[in-house]
Chain A
Amino acid sequence: QVQLQESGPGLVKPSGTLSLTCAVSGGSISSSNWWSWVRQPPGKGLEWIGEIYHSGSTNYNPSLKSRVTISVDKSKNQFSLKLSSVTAADTAVYYCARVVDVVVITFDPWGQGTLVTVSS
């Protein structure tokens, strides 16, 4: 079964760039699925960040679009998130997830999540 694992720095300085990678195991990132990033600030709800297909096609949350880049590395079976110009408001647990139904954007499974703190 497909499993996802996020990795990356747990601390990023304000105005810097947050960079995370999601490794996919048990399946191919080149399958007929989209792949997505979702975040959750401490004590708050879930926020969709964006999604990518193995062809490189992407969709982003309009509120984050100017700062977000999602890319895919098929050779490593992984996809990545970059979020630039970060502030304390970007402190959150970041999850990667497989999109199993692209029409209604159903996520399954999810990675375990990784906490990223923005602080000097």
Chain B
Amino acid sequence: AQTVTQSQPEMSVQEAETVTLSCTYDTSENNYYLFWYKQPPSRQMILVIRQEAYKQQNATENRFSVNFQKAAKSFSLKISDSQLGDTAMYFCASYLWGDGNKLVFGAGTILRVKS
């Protein structure tokens, strides 16, 4: 079974600064994907970034990048040049082929960007 743990219930950052959200996961398999989703007050679940476990290179999407440490089972999200619109709940999630083909989510981290 998969588990995903986000140990930071809340984080805050000043506008234009950098913040890192932490995530650890537990799976014994090799073929999986990891994700960060953003959920603003609109409740829409928005994909921020995706990482294939077989790729050693860390994924990046504009101001968003990850630090994927496979051996440590760690998958942190770095947001650079934080913007007020980044204020949201952020979820880390894993997807394991063969394990029900479902996403397993962490409990989430509330990120507040302050002006």
Pairing of A with B:
no
Chain A contact residues, CB within 8 Å of chain B: none
B binding-site residues for A, Cβ under 8 Å:
none
